[in-house]
Structure 1
Amino acid sequence: MSRALLPENHHRLVTEALAALDVRNWVLSIHDPSFPSLPEEDTGWGSPYSEGAARFLAFSRELGFNGIQLGPQGQVTEFNASPYDGTLFSRNLLNVALAPLEAAEPWGALLPPGRVAQLAASRPQALPPGERFRQAFRAQTTLLNEAWRTFQQKRAAPDAAPSIRALAARFDTFRQQHRAWLVRDALFDVLCEEKREPDWRRWADSLDGRLWNPRPEEEAAAVARLTQLELRYADTLERYAFCQFLVHAQHHGLRERVAAWRLKLYGDLQIGLSPRDAWAWQGLFLRTYLMGAPPSRTNPDGQPWNYPVMDPEQYFEPDDAGANAGSRNGPVLRFMNARMDKMLGEYDGLRLDHPHGLVCPWVYRADLPDALWSVQHGARLFSSPDLPDHPALARFALVHPEQVDRAVSRYADRWVKDLSPEQVRRYSVLFDTVVEASRRNGRQLGDLLAEVLSTLPYPLERVLAQYGLGRFRVTQKADLHDPADVYRSENVGPEDWVMVGNHDTKSLWRLVADWQWKGTLRAQAEYLAARLCPEPSEREAFARELSTSPGRLAQAKVADLFASRARNVMMFFTDLLGMPETYNAPGTVDERNWSLRVPQDWARQYRERLKADAAVNLPAALAMALRAQGALARARHQRLLEGLDALARALRAG
C-alpha cells in the first residue's frame, strides 16, 4: 500500500533533504489506540501489533521517518482509557493482536480460524467513544480467556504439537524472568475481585491493603497471606502471566520489524503511577503529599494529578559497612533501576514525561478536601525551605532560604535563583538514574527526550544542561508578539525537539481553521514569511500568498520546523494526515479523549487531502525549508529542490 501511495523516489529525496537540513531525527508520534486495523481484525481499538499497524508503519518509513514515538503502553482499566494512568510494568492487553493467535506457528492456533473476523464483523459500528472502548475491552478479555483455555488444554495433551511445546517453554522462561512484578500486578486484580471493590483505597487500612508494605508486627502475617493467595489463585495468576507473555512477545516482534526498517522505537516514561502500582509499591511514597502540575501557561488552573511522590529519604540507605562508610541505592533507586532496565529492554529511546517530576516535583497536600485548591497552593518538593503553609517540606529542601526569590510565585521558573554544583547533583539523583540506566543499556543521551513545555524551573534547567539535553518546542503555541517566546522557532536550539503540536494540542488543521475564523491568519503568514523568505523584497508577496491559502500556510508551518536549528523534529499523526480532530484535551474528563484513530481507509483519505493541500506534503515543506537558507543553499541544492518540487506536484496531482 505504501509503495502505491508514494512515488518511488520519495524516500530517497526526503532522506537527502533531511540530511541537507541537518535533521537527524524525524519522528512520528502516535499512541496505541490510534493505529489503524484491517476490517477483518478490527475489534474497535487500535494496536501497534496488528497487520493494519504494520502497513501504516511501512508507509511511515517510506515517508522518511526514522523513528516512532509511542505513548505509555501500560495496562489501563475498563473505566479509564488514559495511557498516562496505566501500569508501569504490565503491558496493555488491549494491544494483543488477536488475529495472529489463529495461526499454528508460532501461536499453536490458540483461537479458531475466523474467530477474530467474526468478532470484527459483529461488533457495533456506531458506538460513542467511551462505549466503543468498553466494548473492545470486554471483547478482548473474552478472546484472551479463550486463548488461555485453549493453551491449557493443548499443553496438557500427551501429544502436544511442537508449536505448543515451544510456546510453553517460552512462557515458562518469561514467567521466571518477570515473576517479581507479575505476582504483584496479578494479585491486585485478585484482591479487587475478592473484595468486590476496584478502588483499593477503600480497603487500604487492612493487611491486604498493606500486603507489600506491612507494619512490623504484620510481616509474618503478610508472608502467610501471600502464600495463601498464590496457592488459592494459582490458575488466575498463571493466566495473568500468560496474557502478559502474549503482549510482550508481540512487542518484541514489533521491535524486530521496525529495526529491520531502521526505525527507532521510542517509549514514554510516564511520570504518574496507576492505582495498581500505587498499591504494590506504596512503601516508596510520601503519605501526605501528591504530585500535580502548578498553574502555568499550558494549564492556568493547575492540575491535581493524584500521583504518588517518591520519598526522598528512601533514595539511599547506609551500606553494609555502616552509615559513616557511605551509602548505596535505597528502595526508590532500586525500583527506578528495575523500571528503567525493563523499559530500555523494550525501546530504543524514551520520552521523559514531565521531567520536572524527576527533578523538582510540584506537590500538594493530600489531606485537603479541595484538590484543585490544594494543587494551586502547592510547592516544589526540594525548593521549599521555610514555607509557613508547608512546614513538612523543609526537611527535603535542597536550597537555603536566601536562594529563593519571594518576589515571584513559588511555581515561577526563577523561584530558585542560584545553585551550587553540589545542589545540582542532589536535585539530579532520579534523573541521573535514568541517564545511567540508558548508558548501561547501550543508549545515547540523544535517545532521551525531555518533555519540557512552557515551564523550565531553574533546577531542571541546570540538570538538563549538565547532559546537553534540550526541551520540547511546540510552535503552534508561539507568541508572535514576544520575540523571546520559548515556542518561536528562531529560539530553538540544535538539541531541542521541535513540533507543531503533540497529543495534548489541537491539530494543525483545526488550528489553521481557527486562525482563519479569528482573523489572525495574516499575522501567522507574516511571521512565517519572515522565517522562510530570506529576501525582504519578496516577503510581502509570500505573506499574501500564505494568508489567502490556508493549506499553503499549513505547509509553511511544517517547513518552519525544518528551517529551525533543531536536529530533532517530531510530528503527531493528526498533523501528518490532515485530521482536524483533537486526540486529547488536557485537564478535561471526556470519553473522546484517547480514542481518536487513523481510519481504515487512511491511504485514500491522505491521497485526497494532498490534492487540496489539506495534509502534510512533506516534499513541499522540505523544499520550502531549504529555500529559506538563501541563494547559496538554493544553488547548492538545485537538483534536490527540483526533485522535491516534482514530488510535491505529483502528490498534489494524486
Structure 2
Amino acid sequence: MPYPSLGRRAGLLLPLFSARSTRSWGIGDIADMTRLGPWLRASGLRLLQVLPVNDMATGQTSPYSALSAMALEPLYIAVDEVPDAQALGDAVFESGTRPDFAALNASPRVAYEEAMALKEGALHRAFLRFRDHEWRRDSARAGDLRAYLAEQAWWLDDYALFRVLHDHHEARAWWDWPAGLASRDPEALAEARTVHAEAVLETCWLQWVAQRQWEQARRDLDGIALVGDLPFMVSADSADVWSHQHLFSREYTVGTPPDAFSETGQDWGLPVYLWDEMRADDFGWLRARGRRMAAMFDGFRIDHLVGFYRTYWRPLDGAAPRFVPGEEAEQRALGEAVIEAFASAGAALIAEDLGTIPDFVRESLQRLQLPGYKVMRWERDWHAEGQPFHDPAAYGPTSLATTGTHDTDMLADWWDTATAEEKTALLAIPALAGAGFTPEQPFDEAIRDALIATLLQSGSDLVIFPLQDLFGWRDRINVPATVGPGNWSWASHIPVDRLLDDEQGRERAETLRAMVDASGR
C-alpha cells in the first residue's frame, strides 16, 4: 500500500535561520514562515522545505547537531509575538531600550551569538512575567500550558530535566554528571526535579511558546505543505540517549565505509542504534519520532536513509568496522520496518538516498513507492559513452527533483565550474537542445530560467529549489567536512517579508508563477 503523498507540486528549500525578515531579531524565526507565505503563493510554490529545527547542541549552529530529537530550538521563537514579551514592552530588553535590529538584520550572515544573547534575555524576562501574572494566578494561558505539559509529557518531561541539568553542569556530557543522574536513579531524578523546578518550568514554557507559534504558522501557510528533515542519528550527549540508554551504544560510532570520495570513509562520532533492542519494542522510539514529526510537518525527509537499512559501525577499540545487520535479507527487513515505523504517524515521507546506495535499497524504495532524490547534475548514465544526462521529462513520478541540496554548491557556481564536456552533455537534454546555449557561456538569467523550467517540466511529482538557485545567487548553506562561520549562517539577501516589494523579488514571483502554471503543478 502506498504511503501518504504530497501530490504534484513545486516548492522552496530554505532553512529557517535563513528566512530573515525585517521583524527578525538577527535570525529567521517561526513567524517568518508566515511572512514568506505571500511570496510563495505569488510564485505558485506550494511547498516549503526546512532543515531540522531541533534544540541545537550548546555552542553549535549546525541543525544536524541537536540535544533532542523532539524539542524545538528556542532561538526560533519570534519574541515580539509572545504575549508576555508584548506586555513588557521595551522592558523586555536588558537596557530598557529596543536594540538596533535593522543593523543586526543587515549582517550578511546570521549573528548567532548576538541573536542568542538578545533572545535568551528577553525570553527569560517574558517567562518571569508569565510566572507572576499567568501561572501563579492559574489563568487561561496557564491552563493551556498545563494541557500542553500533559499532552507532551512522553518526551517533554525527560527533555526539560536534561536541558536544565545540562546547563547546570556547564554543558558537560551526561555521562560526566554525578552517577545517580547519569544512571537515572529515580531518587536522584526526583530530587533534581524539585531542586530545579522553576528552571524546568521555564524550559517547558519555551517549548510551549515555540509549539503554539509553530501551529499558528502552519495555519497561516494554509495550502502550502511544510516539509521537515529527520536527521539519521542524535548526538550521544542528547536527551534521547540519556533517556533511552538501552537503545544506543557509545562503544561504536556511526560512519560510512571508504568510497570514491574518502579513502578512509567517514566517522560521524555519533552513537549507534542497538537494532535488537529497537526491534524488541517494535521500534517504539522511532515511532515516537515519526509522531513528533507528523505533528509538525505535512511530510519529512529521512536523512541518510540507507543507514536505516544497514548502519556502518566503527568500534572505538580499533576493531574492524562493519555493517549491522550484516546480511542483505536482514538489511532489507530492517529498513522496511523502520520506514513503516516512521510512516505509521501519517506524514508523507521522502527518502534522502544520495551517495552510495546498494541496488537492493533502491529496489525496496521503488516497491514501497517512496520518493527519492534526483539532483539534476548527478542524474547521468555513468556507464555509457559520454555519460549522458537522464532526461528530466523521463524521471519517475515517485521522486523529488532538485537543482541542489544544502550540502552542494549553488547552481550558478556549478555551471561556471563544470567542464565543457559536462555542460555539452547537459545541453543535449531535449528541453535544452536547440535553445542556443553553449558550454562556453557563463551562467546568466537565461540559463538559470531554462534549467528551472526544465526541472519543473520533469516527471517528478515533487520539484524543490533552494532560494539561491531561483535567484541565481551563489551563497552556500554548508560545505561538508568543514567547520567555520560560513556554514549554517547564510541569510536571504532580501527580507522574506519584502520579497514582493522588491523589484527582483516581484519579477521572480511572476516568472516562476508562469513556469509553474505551465508545468501543471
TM range (shorter): 0.7 to 0.9
Which residue, 527, 547, 563 being the options, matches 2:426? 527
CA shift digits 1:273-321 (9 cap, x unpaired): 132233232221134222123344566763321222221221344xxxx
In structure 1, the residue matched to 2:3 is none
* Cα deviation 1:101-141 (Å, max 9, x = unaligned): 2x5xxx584432585781344875787858x2122112211
Deviations 1:58-106 (A, max 9, x none): 20121111111111110013411111112211111011001112x5xxx
Q: Does 1:280 align with 2:243?
A: yes
- Identity of matched residues, %: 22
CA drift of 1:462 comes to: 3.7
SS at match of 1:351: strand
Flag structure 1 segments of 5+ consecutive residues without an equivalent: 1-21, 159-163, 212-221, 318-328, 369-373, 384-398, 400-415, 534-538, 627-639, 641-654
Of 112, 125, 129 in structure 2, the residue corresponding to residue 146 of structure 1 is 125
Equivalent residue letter for 2:186? V
What secondary structure does 1:473 align onto?
strand
For 2:60 and 2:43, locate their aligned partners in 1 and report how far apart those are by CA, in whole Å. Answer: 34
What is aligned with 2:292? 342
Q: What SS is found at the alignment partner of 1:33? A: helix
- Spell out the pairing of 1:136-215 with structure 2 (5 A cutoff): 136-155=115-134, 165-203=139-177, 206-211=179-184
Given that 1:479 and 1:488 are in contact with CA atoms closer than 8 Å, whether structure 2 keeps it comes out as yes
Q: Which residue, out of 29, 39, 46, partners 1:59? A: 39
Deviation at 1:531, TM superposition (A): 2.3
Which of these residues, 396, 404, 409, is aligned with residue 493 of structure 1? 396
Distance (whole Å) between structure 2 residues aligned to residue 545 and residue 609 of structure 1: 28
8 A contact 2:10–2:45 mirrored in 1: yes
Cα separation, 2, equivalents of 1:360 and 1:308: 14
Closer/same/farther in 2, CA of residues 283 and 360 from structure 1, 3 Å limit: same
- d(CA) in 2 for partners of 1:171 and 1:266? 26
- After superposition, what is the alpha-carbon deviation per residue over 1:24-43, rounded to whole angstroms, capped at 9, x for unaligned? 121211111011221xx332
**Secondary structure in 2 matching 1:367:** coil
> Residue 111 of structure 1 aligns to a residue in which SS?
helix
Separation in structure 2 between the aligned mates of residue 165 and residue 586 of structure 1, nearest angstrom? 48
> What is the CA-CA distance between 1:171 and the residue it aligns to?
0.5
The 3 A distance-change label for structure 1 pair 23 and 238 is closer
Structure 2 residue 488 is the aligned partner of structure 1 residue 594: yes
Are 2:254 and 2:311, in contact at CA under 8 Å, matched by a contact in 1?
yes
Determine the C-alpha separation between the residues in 2 that align with 1:268 and 1:598.
20
Q: 1:230 aligns with which of 165, 174, 193?
A: 193
Which AA in structure 1 matches 2:396? Answer: G
1:352 matches 2:302: yes
Following TM superposition, by how much is the alpha carbon of 1:335 offset from its aligned partner in structure 2, in angstroms? 1.1
Greater share of residues in helix: 1
Q: Select which of 266, 270, 274 maps to 2:227.
A: 266
Residue 35 in structure 1 maps to residue 19 in structure 2:
yes
Match of 2:61, SS state, is: coil
Cα 1:555/1:179, change in 2 over 3 Å:
same
Alpha carbon RMSD of aligned pairs, Å? Answer: 3.3
**CA deviation after TM superposition for structure 1 residue 555, in Å:** 1.9
| Deviation of the 1:355 alpha carbon | 0.9
1:474 corresponding residue in structure 2: 375
Match 1:381 to one of 318, 324, 336 = 324
Contact kept? 2:290, 2:344, Cα under 8 Å:
no
Q: 1-side partners of 2:187 and 2:266: how far apart?
A: 41
Question: Is the 2:17–2:28 Cα contact (8 Å) retained in structure 1?
Answer: yes
Alignment counterpart, residue 88 of structure 2, candidates 94, 111, 119 = 111
1:562 to 456, 460, 477: 456
The 2-side partners of 1:620 and 1:298 are apart by 40
Q: Which runs of 5+ in 2 are unaligned?
A: 1-5
Say if 1:26 and 1:66, in contact at 8 Å, map to a contact too.
Answer: yes
1:181-211 CA-to-partner distances (Å, cap 9, x unmatched) read 22222222333344334333444x8232222
SS class of match (2:60): coil
Which residue of structure 1 aligns with residue 218 of structure 2? 255
Shift in Å, 1:570: 1.0
- How high is the TM-score relative to the length of structure 2? 0.86
**Paired position in structure 2 for 1:583:** 477
Cα drift, residue 603 of structure 1: 2.8
Amino acid at match of 2:183: R
2:389–2:429 CA contact under 8 A, matched in 1? no
Q: Letter of the aligned partner of 2:294 in structure 1? A: L
* 2-structure distance, mates of 1:150, 1:555: 51
Match status 1:573 vs 2:467: yes
Alpha-carbon distance in 2 for matches of 1:80, 1:181: 22
Offset from partner CA, 1:544-574 (integer Å, 9 cap, x none): 4993763322222222213332122111111
Give the CA deviation at 1:456: 1.7
* TM-score normalized with structure 1 length: 0.70
1:562/1:129 CA distance change after superposition, 3 Å: closer
Structure-2 residue corresponding to 1:96: 77
SS at match of 1:112: helix
CA distance in 2, matches of 1:483, 1:501: 24
Task: Say if 1:497 and 1:569, in contact at 8 Å, map to a contact too.
Answer: yes
Contact 2:145 2:208 in 1 (8 A): yes
- Residue pairs, 1:319-334, within 5 angstroms: 329-330=281-282, 333-334=283-284
- One-letter code aligned to 2:74: L
1:318-341 residue CA offsets vs partner (Å, 9 max, x unmatched): xxxxxxxxxxx35xx111122211
CA shift for structure 1 position 590: 1.6
Q: Distance in 2 between matches of 1:180 and 1:554?
A: 47
* Secondary structure, counterpart of 2:465 in structure 1: strand
Flag the structure with larger Rg: 1
Contact 1:578 1:606 in 2 (8 A): no
- One-letter amino acid of the counterpart of residue 337, structure 2: V
1:389-422 CA distances to partner (integer Å, 9 max, x unpaired)? Answer: xxxxxxxxxx2xxxxxxxxxxxxxxxx5xx4xx8
